[in-house]
Amino acid sequence: MEYVQFLVLLFSLFQIHINSCMCQHMGELDSTTDKAALLSFKLQLNDPLNSLSGWTRNSTSHCTWFGISCTSKGSRVESLQLSSLGLVGPLPPSLSNLTSLRTLNLSHNLFHGQFQLEFSKLSHLRHIDLRNNSINGTLPVALSHCLNLKTLRLQGNKFSGNLPPQLGNFQRLSILSISINNLTGSIPPTFGNLSSLTYLALARNMLIGEIPSEFGQLKKLQHIQLSENHLSGQIPSSIFNISSLVFLSVTHNNLSGSLPIPNDNHRFQALPNVREVYLALNWFEGILPAYLSNASNIECLDLSRNRFHGPIPLFGNMRKLIMLDLGQNLFSSSTARNVHFIDSLSNCTQLEYLRINSNRLSGEFPSVANLSTNIQHLCISDNFLTGGFPQGMDKFQNLISLSLEMNSLTGDIPRSIAKLGNLQNFLVHQNIFSGEIPEIFANLTRVSSIVMRNNQFSGKIPTSLGNCQQLQTLDLSWNRLNGSVPEEVFKLSGLNYLVLEHNMLSGPLPSDVGNLKQLQVIDVSDNNLFGTLTSSISGCSSLLYLNMSRNNLSGEIPSSLANILPLEVLDLSSNNLSGPIPQELANLKSLKFLNLSSNYLEGDVPTGNIFSNLSSSSIRGNDDLCSADKEIARNLQLHQCKTKGRQSNHLIKILVPISGATLFICLVFCFVWALISRRKKNRVKGSQSLLSLKGLPPLISYSDIQIATSHFTAENLLGKGGFGSVYKGTFNTGDDGASINNVTFAVKVLDLQQTKAVQSFLAECEALRNLRHRNLVKIITSCSSIDHKRDEFKALVYEFMPNGNLDKWLYPEDEESGFCLTLMQRLNISIDVASAMDYLHNDCDPAVVHCDLKPANVLLDENMAAHVGDFGLARFLCQRPSQRENSTMGLKGSVGYIAPEYGLGSKASTSGDAYSFGVLVLEMFIAKKPTDEMFKEGLSLNKFASAVDRNQVFETVDPRILKNHGGSEQSSSNPSSSNDSSNGGTSSTDSDHICRKYEECLAAVIRVGLSCAAQSPKDRLPMRETLTKLHDIKKIFLN
């Protein structure tokens, strides 16, 4: 006992000694040392504004210096405030000598290095503000010595490491803001001890783990900002019990589960004073609790991009509501519920922002005349809404953005829209609006985006668009517009995107197009434009994408196109262009995609840049093109240019004056003229594809095919079908003594023992004779002859597809072969097939129905672009219903792919092809045949729909798609091909984002497949609308 008393006495004496030393040391730090510390601090700084020029050693008192405040007694530095001066430098240890410092504010400068002061000397500190600098390192644990700290602002720096649990010791701390740094680890539960805390901001870091339930102990807390981290788990119910809470944001995390539900066993106040709640971009699910939709003080509520479901909530009690975002959830509705929803919002007289897009709302959408006149943003897009254009829209004089796209709205666009003078975005695409586009744009002088694509608009393009001088995007594609493009459009100097594809526009492209210096995209493909391609288009100096394919343009390609240096995509295919390919195009270093196919171009193909990697498909269908280089000629399937012929012509020109040769020259010219005339006639007769084969005759013999297939050996057998076998054939082709080239084609040999094989042969010839589309297999020629046994022989010669058919890629014989289609490749193939079917159904006269769409009939070229083949069961849809040509009685088709109504003898229809396409899409993304066990009950659509509803997409799709889903996929500029590449490693944020995008993309594609494969023909999605949806899915995925 005496020993213990001795130790206590010894410890007391030691403590008295320590305190004495500290007092002596503190006494040594006075105003002189403060001045020295400040001068030392200044010496290490770069002061670009000379703000500290008055800090000199000769000054009478440092207390008069800029940014300095001192105590009333002793002239000790009490406050150092040097905010927003552009100061550059470290935080030197000498600042630790300012032992009386209460406020340190160095915010909005360029301080760097670590924040490591002797905080044991700075026990008087109350406020630290170092926000928006470049300070790095870990947060100093020694900060816990500053027990009087009330404000700690460190946001906008480069701090890393974990949050020290010791920060929870600040009993007087009211503001803690460390957002926008590189902090990792979890949030310490000790933060629940910050009993004076009113403001907590830890956003935009890399924090993980759950939100501590101890936050519920912070009874003074008003502001919680935890957005853009990697937090997981559920929101603790204790947070919803903080009655003082005014602001809550957990946007962009990995939080999940349902929102807390009140428990009758304890008091649950449910955010009685909250004004702003942001829960977007998480994985929350379940039905929205009533207490949230009834919170009367809420001004901003953002629940977007989650999985909330159930009937869309009513918000009648939120009379202070300004912003409501319920977008991208699973809320549902009916016509009656829509009326109740809009009626409930009529009490929200301050509402400015309303988004209910990308849910499952259905039924007619009611009048919005009762909504607040303050509405600025209204978005109801990407739902299943029907009815006409919502009435009452003209009362919203402050409306900035109107977004109605991707619904099933019908009828005309009301002229009252002309009253919306503040409108900037007008988005109504992918609906079923019809009629003429009214002249409503004269007053819309502030509009920047007009997107009306994929509707049924007809008539002419409004000239009042010329008043929209701030217009940047004009998209009227995929409608039925006719007439010429108004000159007024080409006077919109700020236009960036002009997309008018797939209409019935005519006339030439005005020369005024060259005035659009900011234009980046021009797409006028699939129209009836004629005339020459104006050289003034080179004035579009910012142009990246130019697509004028599938028109009637004539004349030569202007060499001035080479002046558009940023150009990346140039598509002039399927026109009537003639003359040479300008050599200057080879100077376009940015050009990534070039398509000049199906024209009348001639002469030597240029070399260099884009032409170095050109594929034969890019110039196919130009019979008079050649190449002086033998290697290039072989790769592009061209003949070599005849240089000797040019020398002969030059010699003939020299001999022209010789009178004896005059008659001979005349005869030569007559002979050449006859050849040209004959070639033109052949072109008119549709033999363009034959002539491009450099010597292959229009009808080839049995012996030609026998030699090409090496006597039909098994090594050349590509596959067998219902009516015959397909072989790989290598043909020798040449032209008037030119060097012989070996060209590979696919040869379909008909088994004439099969019933209806001859009918299949004739049907395929008839169907493919006049069809021209990049995603259809091209028939080259045919053979109707006798074999060596004198038996009848019939065969068809097609383009050879080196990557085989889709079936082999989905079900490779060798699982280790590496045959695996990426998500982007599957999506591109879906788009290619849908494009081909849309062409057959909507752009052919009469329309063609394929009747046998399945993976084995989808062939893949060298770029993995898809081509639909095998038209042996194809039917023409005749205008007269009395004709029986399109009956499906006796139609075989393929089990699992054929539409159910065909089994009952229904007539062939485009909806039957839509059904087959839907099955094809589902099979492509889950890699299970329709005859699989999971498809016993029809298509088991309920099972699929349920999987999509629950967002269990990853459990449904082909697991090979997800093998590399952490990487990023990019599609090539060619819409019919895909090149997948990885960008290397990704951060966890990127990985989560990519995973979410994969899931959304897969779910959207499966929904499209289900919509096409509906049991009832009237419920199936038409191919044109299907194609549009797939294009939009791809754009969203890539963006």
Q: Please check whether residue 980 lies inside any domain of the structure.
A: yes
pLDDT at 312 over 60: yes
Higher local confidence (pLDDT), 442 or 718: 442
pLDDT value, residue 357: 94
Beta bridge partners of 480: 458
Whether 795 and 830 map to the same domain: the answer is: no
Confidence of residue 157 (pLDDT cuts 50, 70, 90): very high
Q: Residues 658, 700: one domain? A: no
Residue 433 lies in a domain: no
Task: Residue 740: give its domain's CATH number.
Answer: 3.30.200.20
> Are 791 and 810 members of one domain?
no
The two three-digit tokens of residue 745, written as one number: 């084609």
Give the rounded distance of the alpha carbon of 307 from its chain centre: 21
User: What's the pLDDT score for residue 963?
Assistant: 67
Residue 947 is predicted with a pLDDT of 54
592 among annotated binding-site residues? no
Residues 879 and 916 in one domain: yes
**770, 799, 828: which is the final residue of a domain?**
799
Active site residue 1032: no
Q: What is the pLDDT of residue 763?
A: 65
Query: Catalytic one among 382, 852, 870, 958?
Result: 852
Residue 824 lies in a domain: yes
Backbone angles phi, psi at 797, to 5 degrees: -110, 125
Residues 743 and 659 in one domain: no
More confident residue, 374 or 983: 374
Residues in the chain: 1039
Are 852 and 958 part of one and the same domain?
yes
What is the distance in angstroms between the CA of the first residue and the CA of the last residue of the chain?
A: 78
Q: Please check whether residue 673 lies inside any domain of the structure.
A: yes
CA distances from 362 to 34, 332, 383, 407, 1020 (A): 72, 7, 7, 9, 17
Identity of the highest mean pLDDT range in 433-437, 658-662, 1010-1014: 433-437
Whole-number pLDDT of residue 673: 59
Residue 673 sits in which domain range?
Answer: 645-684
Give the pLDDT confidence of 99-139 residue by residue, as tens digits. Answer: 999 999 999 999 999 998 888 899 899 999 999 999 999 99
CATH of the domain at 899: 1.10.510.10
Q: Which of 653, 684, 715 is the last residue of a domain?
A: 684
Nearest to 487 by CA among 509, 520, 459: 509
Domain match, 1003 and 966 both: yes
Round to whole Å and give the CA distance between 337 and 341: 6
Number of domains in the chain: 3
Q: Does a structural domain hold residue 334?
A: no
Could you tell me the pLDDT band of residue 990, with boundaries at 50, 70 and 90?
low
Q: What's the pTM?
A: 0.64
Same domain? 831 vs 787: no
449 pLDDT higher than 60: yes
- CA–CA separation, 198 and 202 (whole Å): 13
Q: Which residue has the tokens 């697509």?
A: 547
Determine, yes or no, domain membership for 557: no
- Give tens-digit pLDDT for 435-444: 999 999 999 9
Residue tagged 């509405």 (tokens):
375
pLDDT in tens, 899-946: 888 877 778 889 999 999 999 998 898 888 887 766 554 445 445 554
Mean residue pLDDT across the chain: 83
Which tokens in the block code for residue 763?
């049907």
Q: Are residues 817 and 788 in the same domain?
A: no
Q: Same structural domain for residues 1003 and 893?
A: yes
Q: Using one digit for the tens of pLDDT, what is the confidence trace for 767-810?
A: 666 677 888 888 778 787 777 777 778 888 888 888 888 988 88
The backbone region for 1031, taken as left when phi is positive above 0, alpha when psi lies in -120 to 50, beta otherwise, is alpha
What is the per-residue pLDDT for 24? Answer: 40
| Same-domain check for residues 971 and 824 | yes
User: Is 277 a domain residue?
Assistant: no
Model confidence over 647-658: pLDDT tens digits?
A: 444 444 444 455
Q: HSE (CB half, 13 Å, CA atoms) of 682?
A: 15
Those residues with Cβ within 8 angstroms of residue 477's Cβ, 6 or more apart along the chain or in another chain: 453, 454, 499, 500, 501, 502, 503, 523
Residue finishing a domain among 657, 684, 711:
684
Q: For residues 829 and 741, state if they share a domain.
A: no
Q: Strands 528-532, 504-507: parallel, antiparallel or unpaired by DSSP?
A: parallel
Instruction: Count Cα neighbours of 1030 within 13 Å in the Cβ-side half-sphere.
Output: 31
DSSP 789: T
> Which of 993, 988, 1004, 998 is closest to 965 using CA atoms?
998
Is 631 inside any structural domain?
no
